[in-house]
Chain A
Amino acid sequence: MCGICGLMMDDNGLRHSSVGSILQDMMESQQIRAQDGAGIAIFDKSNAQDSFKIKNFRKEETSDYIINEVRTSSENVSENLQKMNQDPECHFFSFENEMTIIKEIGLAKDLDKKFGIRKMNGSHGIGHLRIATSSRVTPYNTHPFSTTILPDIAIVHNGEITNYNLLKDSLELEGFTFHTDSDSEVIAVFLASRILKHGDIEKAHREFVAKADGPFTYIAATSDSIAIVRDKFGTRKGIIGYNPGTDDHPPFWAMATDLSALDVVGATTKIETPHPGKPRIFYRN
């Protein structure tokens, strides 16, 4: 049960120097909620290449986890994934093109110190602070979650998908692979499987809300969209706000668990509580 946040720049430029720092401010303002892990996913079109990046955590003998990256062309993706899956100490965590996922155990401040989040640029991003409940505290169980089915999908999640076992079994039967035992991963896999089927991200979110059970709010990002989605009873919080822009940065939409996160970044106009069960989606201009 955690703090989540997301933002989408609202102008035609695709690369903004403030995305990382606004996201970091939103994370740090919610730190009191959860201190077991922090993570972000930021989308920057200038990162796009013909090849993809697969990132994983590898457990060393010292029990620390180090990050490995493999660059792969689209033809070699499955081969590289298979190689990675054969090593039991390797834990997949990101399949990227425009997207960069950075996540670690510990506090948001430390994440920024180690990886320079504030300096990251892009058009949109999401963030997460974790208090571990049903999964162990390891870096690969921190959010955001990605999937090996399609690149550039990231989700952060507050709450629990209670019928996650059913959904996971059904998706595995269809042929999709999971890499962690976290219920949050099922959101990413489900959305990816639906995009593959019909390509309509909004429809995919609606299908997920209809199928998923339990109390949850999640924020999901693809290369050109961000959506905040609450369960059909609205059991978990979620709020959206708009910052009309300043000299330092263009206008942007922000979303978070707590109003305080919107406050801290000045996204205090057009405040809106997403309707339970109705995905609220923002597209990149």
Chain B
Amino acid sequence: MRLNEKALIRKSILELCNTGMPRQKSTDDVIRTIREKSSSEKEGNLWEYIIALGAQLSRPPFDPYREKIKLTTKIGRKGDQKISLKIPILIYGKFDLSQSSKDALYLALDNLDDNRSTIGLISKDEPCDERKYPHFQILDDISKLADPDGIVLEYTGVKTEEKIEKIRKEFDGPILVEVDEYFSYYTAKLLELGIDGIVVNTDDIIKSERYKGKHAIAVIHDAKLAINEFYRGKENDGACLVVAGDVNNAGKMVKAAGLGADIIGYDTSLLIAKVGHYSENFFDEEITAQKIFNHMIATKSELTGIPAAVGYSDFHNLSPSDFRTSSIKASVQGNIPLEGVDKTYRNMVEEILEEHVNTKNISVNQQERQKIISLIMKGEN
């Protein structure tokens, strides 16, 4: 039940308990009327309409207490230069932190590495010398290259391609490019130039004209498609998709992974972990580091629990076929099967179209059929 309907249902049951007699009004009718009137009927957060299929009989679940669930992720396409993360997370800081917050973050990242829970950092700042964790430096000018483990470049057009060629000659570690909303056009080219993956910030991209009105899941789906198209006819050597933006809890991370994300760029929640201090009214670097550490350890447990419950011993085996949705929009944008029918909305429309044109003897060729389907899909957004 939705939160606001709880009170209604409770009241209705208590009425039955008090009177022992039939009620006057149907509660489902009342709920329906409220939903029709309220604006929350418009699906906002599509993440909430996506669920995973748990394992029971037709496949057995794994037991994370006894069976080790793998979260390890490698970044990099060339054998010896790969960076290994124990949890598929890169801290992706777009907001400016104070120096003491940064120090707390670096301490937490070191502690995580000590505890076999290595995650990485993407940052504009220079990497710390004694660090234990991998640091991806956000670089706009190759002269500023410090000594990072990896590089993140922002895509700014053809100039980026030149930069990549230059950097690739001087730097052996993984190179990721943060793309804009036109990534479908140039991802293949960038991968050919030798980059090791792309970063999509779904919060930024859904503000663009191209993805207006769409949800993060459409961006992730399209980004994965762009990478897959590069690999058509080739053996997959591990270019990765980093998804940042609206993916800040374990549930969304798992769903993003199902849609194709290899690594999560994790930002806002870190702020929240830090926020734990506001009530204490003073800043303590060690306590903040501890909170960040705790938060990541808890997230790691959640990230092992869900794949195990879906029947996988490796987080990266989650795929779209393991998810279902109770939203036509989500089915269209993420190509996710609808629950109960186990087909995507697109597949359903294709089948009905096939039958309809045959029964009614309507002559439409393949291209026209695709146009009809695209128009209907557009209408559901």
Q: So, do A and B actually touch in the complex, CB under 8 Å?
A: yes
CA of A137 to CA of B314, assembled, Å? 30
B67 within 8 A of A: yes
CA of A175 to CA of B235, assembled, Å? 9
B236 to A162, Cβ gap below 8 A? no
A213 to B236, Cβ gap below 8 A? no
Chain A residues within 8 Å of B312, by CB? 162-163, 213-214
In the complex, what's the smallest C-beta–C-beta distance from A59 to chain B, in angstroms? 20
B60 to A173, Cβ gap below 8 A? no
A175 to B233, Cβ gap below 8 A? yes
B58 to A232, Cβ gap below 8 A? no
B197 within 8 A of A: no
Chain A residues within 8 Å of B231, by CB? 173-174
B2 within 8 A of A: no
Chain B residues within 8 Å of A163, by CB? 312, 314, 317, 319
| Chain A-chain B contacts (Cβ-Cβ < 8 Å), number | 49
B314 to A165, Cβ gap below 8 A? no
A174 touching B317 in the complex, CB below 8 Å, given contacts A134-B58, A160-B59: no
Q: Per-position contact with B for A201-235: 1 when CB-CB < 8 Å, else 0?
A: 00000000000011100000000000000001101
CA of A163 to CA of B62, assembled, Å? 14
CA of A22 to CA of B232, assembled, Å? 45
Chain B residues within 8 Å of A214, by CB? 59, 311-312
A133 within 8 A of B: yes
A170 within 8 A of B: yes
| Majority DSSP secondary structure for residues of A touching B | loop
Question: Which of A133, A134, A173, A233 touches B232 (beta carbons < 8 Å)?
Answer: A173
CA of A165 to CA of B320, assembled, Å? 9
CA of A170 to CA of B55, assembled, Å? 23
Q: Per-position contact with B for A242-281: 1 when CB-CB < 8 Å, else 0?
A: 0000000000000000000000000000000000000000
CA of A173 to CA of B231, assembled, Å? 7
B319 to A165, Cβ gap below 8 A? yes
CA of A244 to CA of B60, assembled, Å? 38
A133 touching B317 in the complex, CB below 8 Å, given contacts A162-B311, A174-B235, A214-B311: no
Interface size class of A (residues with CB under 8 A): 10 to 19
In the complex, what's the smallest C-beta–C-beta distance from A176 to chain B, in angstroms? 10
B321 within 8 A of A: yes
CA of A63 to CA of B62, assembled, Å? 40
B228 within 8 A of A: yes
A165 to B321, Cβ gap below 8 A? yes
Q: Which residue of A lies closest to B66 (CB)?
A: A233
Q: Per-position contact with B for A165-201: 1 when CB-CB < 8 Å, else 0?
A: 1100110011100000000000000000000010000
A232 touching B313 in the complex, CB below 8 Å, given contacts A134-B58, A163-B319: yes
In the complex, what's the smallest C-beta–C-beta distance from B336 to chain A, in angstroms? 13
Q: Per-position contact with A for B57-79: 1 when CB-CB < 8 Å, else 0?
A: 01110100001000000000000
CA of A175 to CA of B236, assembled, Å? 12
A233 touching B234 in the complex, CB below 8 Å, given contacts A133-B58, A173-B228: no
Chain B residues within 8 Å of A175, by CB? 232-233
Question: Which of A160, A174, A232 touches B236 (beta carbons < 8 Å)?
Answer: A174
In the complex, what's the smallest C-beta–C-beta distance from A212 to chain B, in angstroms? 9
A235 touching B60 in the complex, CB below 8 Å, given contacts A162-B312, A162-B317: yes
A215 to B236, Cβ gap below 8 A? no
Chain A residues within 8 Å of B235, by CB? 174, 197
In the complex, what's the smallest C-beta–C-beta distance from B224 to chain A, in angstroms? 11
B314 to A213, Cβ gap below 8 A? yes
Chain B residues within 8 Å of A162, by CB? 55, 59, 311-312, 317
CA of A174 to CA of B60, assembled, Å? 30
In the complex, what's the smallest C-beta–C-beta distance from B183 to chain A, in angstroms? 19
Chain A residues within 8 Å of B233, by CB? 173-175
CA of A170 to CA of B233, assembled, Å? 10
Q: List 19 A-B contacts (CB under 8 A).
A: A134-B58, A163-B317, A163-B319, A165-B321, A166-B319, A169-B228, A170-B236, A173-B228, A174-B231, A174-B233, A174-B234, A174-B236, A213-B313, A214-B59, A214-B311, A215-B59, A232-B313, A233-B62, A235-B60
Binding site for A on B (CB under 8 A): 55, 58-60, 62, 67, 228, 231-236, 311-314, 317, 319-321
Which 4 A-B residue pairings sit nearest by Cβ, starting from the closest?
A: A163-B317, A165-B321, A166-B319, A213-B317
With A174-B233, A197-B235 already in contact, 13 other A-B pairs whose C-beta atoms are closer than 8 Å: A160-B58, A160-B59, A162-B312, A163-B314, A165-B319, A166-B317, A169-B319, A173-B233, A175-B233, A213-B311, A214-B312, A215-B60, A233-B313
